[in-house]
Structure 1
Amino acid sequence: MAWRVLVSKIPESKTLTPTFPSLIPNPKPNLSIFSSPFSTSFLITKTPKKYRKKRSKPDSPRTKPVQPEPTRIPHLESILQRDSYFRFLTRSKSFLSTQPNHVLRLDDAGKLNRELGFPRGRKVSRFLQRHPTIFATYRHADNKMWVGFTEFMEELLLEEKEIMNEMESDRVNKVRKLLMMSKDKRIPLSKIHHCRLLFGVPDDFRDRVAKYPEFFRIVMEDDGKRILELVKWDPLLAVSAIEREFLVDEDRVKKMFKFPVKYGKDLGLEYDEMKKLNLLNTLPMVSLYSDGWRFDLWSLEAEKYRVGVVHEFLSLTLEKRASIHHIVEFKEEFSLTRQTYQMLKKQPQTFYLAGTEMNWDVFLKDAYDEDGVLIAKDPQVVFNDRLRTYAQMQEGELGYGDDTT
């Protein structure tokens, strides 16, 4: 019946002549004669859901910048872009350094996108080619392609190991201070290892702690998790960066924080009494190396304590900054809340939040100059800067005979 309807719509003056591609060059079939009232949408191939790209909404926390344009500090924002570009270098260096002979089969490397820091579905070889002075590929006796470090990079790793050894005492004190700040004076070793690059802690720190039984004790829990506990409290270490700065410049430190407190304009107070009252809405007066976690969760004292803890945490890092992922890692140990983002946003005098609302970094503003350069650089930071410089060079640009110290 459908065929009869289709034929009846053809004008009588036109006749259907069969056409064959082999007889007519570049045939252009008249598709209008094949129109029918029946839908052919089922012939359209749709992209499976798992292969579709997720499009974030304009106001999505995933893409919405933390800072609006007028308050943005480009130099600090550019540091996040730098980290993104060198993510492959940082993660691959860390992962390859733990492998036997510092080598890995190229086929295996292509499956380790998360460990090596390159997007899933991309070819790892493309990222290796970005840094020819750092990574090298070669064919092994098994006729398989392998990836490893160049001779120049192996020399740099030995230099970095010397820095780690020289700074070991400083790193031990950093971990001791973290333990002293924590709620129960204990932190899982896995958390410290996960954030080791943040503090300059060596990869083998879990083995090095055995050298310091007077400071640390490792406890094995029932689930097999190893916990690092503080053995001895040191009052000399229980001094925060805020307290040290307060002794040098009291007025400047008082302007670092603001905790709005509502009170009447005319309270009839003397000057000294008003000065004490104003201290409530300035610097955190709660000791960071105390049991501040015992305060009522939403009290002013508890908020001051948490702000101070974050400030001290950042002061212990190499670059005086940390990402949301680093901070969340120690959420339980430092009694932080889910409102940490809003809490830090209220302190723009001291903290600068960069990135997006879902993936942000927090900086100590006073630790950077106007050009976004870290004022006091740890030897490990100096080494990392040099490594990034070498990583951008081509093989011909690098003079192996030059002084690299």
Structure 2
Amino acid sequence: MADQPLTARVVRGWAALPLSLRIGGLYLLARLVTHGLLVLAAALAPAGSRFGPGAGVGDLLGGWDAQWYWLVAVAGYPTTLPLTPDGLVTENQWAFLPVYPMLANIVGAPANSWVAGAVVVSLVAGYGATYVLCRMLSERIGTSAAQWAAVMFACAPLAAIFHVGYAESLFLLLLFLALWAVQRRAYAWLYLLIPVMGFTRPGVLAFALFLALHAIARWVCRRTDPLPAREVVHIVATGLLGVVVGFSWVVIAGVVTGQPDAYLSTELAWRRNWLPDAEGGFLPFEGFVQAAAFWFTRAGLGAVAGYIALAASVVLVALVLWRERHVRRLGLDIRLWSASYLVYLLAVFFPQSSIMRLLLPLSPLWGAVALPRSLAWRCGVLAACLAGQWWWIHAMYALGNTFWRIP
């Protein structure tokens, strides 16, 4: 053993560590890099930015939507919706679900700091999400590729989300646990995970759609993949639970405020930052169609070009999910989830700068990126992730000052 080169011994020792410690070490290193980028961004914030010169990292961590989560924690939800001078519902807490801000409130209570509690919850949940992602992917693509996927996820362009007071880290942990449960046919866990997930961030309706597609796939393949009656009951019951939980916040907001469309009107209030005349009711899929016309017209290309680009993008994504060989290696469940979530986004979202953050639930697809065995490829992807991370932190936090730069 003493004659072995030092590097060989280090590699052997690293490989002998439990996976939880290996992922923990890599995640900690990634977080130190991200913290350094946040420190630099705070130092470079100009006078015209949202945070201004002299901002500290704490200001960035508690900025943007974190302020809304903080308001939920300290003031709850309004019983009367705030209105603009024109009588339209304006931005308010009903757009933000309660699990994350309340949990951050509990964790931060000893330090009397909600932001501190939020950062701890985000960091811990981020580690949990990274570890679960690795475990889930390793069952499909092997441990080595899964670890690379976990590192790419931990260093991804939006990795600062593991630090700031946003609910994404916690939602991703719950989502990956739920996907892993389905992958392992441990459906009973979904009775716990779906309600918590549904009151952490919007998206549980996409999971309900995924369960419906999963049920169809299981039924079609029942001769090669037996489908016991108890599993049929679990899949149907948890899918219905997802639908009930998904629509429950709309009902709760309507009951508390006495305005049935309280939640949808609140969400549309954000859309009016780009489309001032967007004061009608909510129509599924309208947001992406409006955005295609809006952004392409603004770029001087015209609405028709936007519609063509939108249709082409849908076709391209469908081909990637169903035909690309590395994506197929991830298994049918991850592809069905990805398709379900993208359909959900198409139905409810108006794409703008936040679209990058809204795509985080597609993170299991990092497994396909990590599959090529070339070390040069994997290191190149990692370098691109870090470069993208700095661009996102600098643009959204150092320079962010308008609704055109919302993280």
TM-score under structure 1 length normalisation: 0.26
Who wins on radius of gyration, i.e. which is larger? Answer: 1
Higher share of residues assigned strand: 1
Which structure would you say has the larger RCO, counting Cα contacts within 8 Å and 6 or more residues apart? 2
TM-score under structure 2 length normalisation: 0.26
